[in-house]
Chains A and B, each alone.
Chain A
Amino acid sequence: MEEQRYVVFLFPSVSYALKAEKILKVARIAHKLIPVPRHISSDCGVCVRITEDKQQDVERELLGKVEWDKVLLL
């Protein structure tokens, strides 16, 4: 079986990540808030981790509601 791949959404600040979390909870999309991995950014905030196959769903839900900085493969 192929190993599950993850992507992370990075936001301007924790306020944005928490707003995204609230939207994803309502949309029932599985996600996890995790500290921003050091190899991605030295920022001390959190990001939203999802499985790669959900990336488009998440982008559709967040578009126009909360802005994100970038999406990266873990």
Chain B
Amino acid sequence: MPLDQLNHPIIYFDNAATSWPKPAAMMAAMINYNELIGGSPGRSGHQRSLDAGRVILETREALAELFGCDDSLRIAFTKNATEALNIALSGILNPGDHVITSSMEHNSVMRPLRYLESQGVQLSVVSCSGDGRLDTEDVRAAIRPHTRLLVVTHASNVTGTIQPIAELGEIAGRHGILFCVDAAQTAGSLPIHVDEMVIDLLAFSGHKSLFGPQGTGGLYIREGLEKQLRPLMMGGTGSRSEFEGQPDFMPDKFESGTPNTIGLAGLGAGVRFVLTERVETIRSKEEMLTTRFLAGLAVLPGITVYGPPDAANRTSVVSFNITGVSPSEASLELDERFGILCRPGLHCAPAAHRTIGTFSQGTIRFGFSYFNKDEEIDLALEAVRSLAGGDAPH
């Protein structure tokens, strides 16, 4: 078990915020870049600059393979999923457009949409069920003649509820509506195929289930759509330097300024780890851990679990509450007495907490990773039992 700075064992269950630990290859790739490459990609023709560009290309190609995308240059890198979502939403929506989203969205979707609403964009927030599931019939009913975009999270960061992305993509495609997916919680932990799921815009985080460092993320943009999408930032791209207008092609249009090359070196190693282990294997391990935890919680007194009852319909995220103990108190106790690291509160998703009935107290959230072990789940269940005032089993 990993140790904290005072050599006490810790159990890291905050993987839905950022994953830890990372594969050893991630750190090795970052050290390799810093020691042996170090150049600015796309800016010069010297060998270190080209090597830096090759590092970034390899990361793009690995992601394209993971998402079933034919052309890796359709992926633009950003500093996180939030930036990617901001490019997608504020880049495509104009006053008078109608956009549909779900009531389970993170603020990385909700806040840009609320801002755009104040600028004249019409917004429909479709209510989800108490366990966070979006009904495709409700989405169909919300479509208007001028609906431009459907934006939905692949899986909730609060309850782990997996949305029916392929069906939603099919509905959007049939109605000529663009489809944007927030894959912050699922890229690397659930299969994603941009063509089969009819996804036009896919925003992903690099530092969660793709095992990259923080400061990495990206946006897949369907061919041709980049012409209609305004960039958030403009500036130097290393290309078309003789012109003062922003390039209009992928990925340069959305990648102004020197990129986070060292971070993207790490992300590449993380994605290659996922490709080698296989998403299906990772998913199966995480589902087993989640099933074990849910089964353990089910027999404890005073525990309320949110989200789908079955691990098959959720990611490895479990939100719960202990009767008589606030989430913030519980997480402090879990940290200080048991070395269990998790996240209490609203998880930047107030709409999701309203949907599941936990606003404004929030929940205790555990997020498991491929690197967690059965023993850690069992120790956590004992800790929760202790906080809930239950007796240890004899």
Residues of A at the B interface (CB closer than 8 Å) are 12-16, 18-19, 21-22, 33-36, 41-46, 65-66
Is B50's CB under 8 angstroms from A46's CB? yes
A60 to B10: give the CA distance in the assembly, Å: 56
Is A43's CB under 8 angstroms from B239's CB? yes
Is A13's CB under 8 angstroms from B239's CB? yes
Is A44's CB under 8 angstroms from B73's CB? no
A46 to B56: give the CA distance in the assembly, Å: 16
A18 to B55: give the CA distance in the assembly, Å: 10
7 A-B pairs besides A13-B252, A22-B61, A44-B45 with CB distance below 8 A are A12-B252, A15-B53, A19-B57, A21-B54, A43-B240, A44-B43, A45-B241
Is A35's CB under 8 angstroms from B45's CB? yes
Q: Does B237 contact A (CB under 8 A)?
A: yes
Contact with A along B49-66 (1 / 0, CB 8 A): 010011011001100000
Q: Which residues of A contact B71 (CB under 8 A)?
A: 65-66
Q: Which residues of B contact A44 (CB under 8 A)?
A: 43-45, 238, 241
Of chain B, the residue at the smallest CB distance from A41 is B242
Contact with A along B20-59 (1 / 0, CB 8 A): 0000000000000000000001111100001001101100
In the assembled complex, how far is the CB of residue A24 from the closest CB belonging to chain B, in whole angstroms?
13
Q: Does B231 contact A (CB under 8 A)?
A: no
Q: Which residues of B contact A21 (CB under 8 A)?
A: 54
Which secondary structure dominates where chain B touches chain A?
loop
Of the candidates A12, A22, A65, which one forms a contact with B57 in the assembled complex, judged by CB atoms under 8 Å apart?
A22
Of the candidates A19, A35, A42, A43, which one forms a contact with B72 in the assembled complex, judged by CB atoms under 8 Å apart?
A19
Q: Does B212 contact A (CB under 8 A)?
A: no
Is A15's CB under 8 angstroms from B252's CB? yes
Is B239's CB under 8 angstroms from A45's CB? yes
Q: Which residues of A contact B57 (CB under 8 A)?
A: 15, 18-19, 22
Is B50's CB under 8 angstroms from A13's CB? no
Q: Which residues of A contact B61 (CB under 8 A)?
A: 22
Is B242's CB under 8 angstroms from A14's CB? no
Q: Does B371 contact A (CB under 8 A)?
A: no
Is A14's CB under 8 angstroms from B42's CB? yes
Is A45's CB under 8 angstroms from B238's CB? yes
A18 to B43: give the CA distance in the assembly, Å: 13
Given known pairs A14-B239, A18-B50, A22-B57, the reply for A45 and B45 (CB within 8 Å) is: yes
In the assembled complex, how far is the CB of residue A47 from the closest CB belonging to chain B, in whole angstroms?
9
In the assembled complex, how far is the CB of residue A22 from the closest CB belonging to chain B, in whole angstroms?
7
Q: Does B247 contact A (CB under 8 A)?
A: yes
Q: Which residues of A contact B50 (CB under 8 A)?
A: 14, 18, 33, 46
Identify which of A33, A35, A45 gathers the most chain B CB atoms within 10 Å of its CB. Answer: A45
Q: Does B160 contact A (CB under 8 A)?
A: no
Of chain B, the residue at the smallest CB distance from A47 is B45
Identify which of B45, B50, B54, B237 gathers the most chain A CB atoms within 10 Å of its CB. Answer: B45
Q: Which residues of B contact A33 (CB under 8 A)?
A: 45, 50
Of chain B, the residue at the smallest CB distance from A11 is B239
Within 8 A of A (CB), among B75-100: none
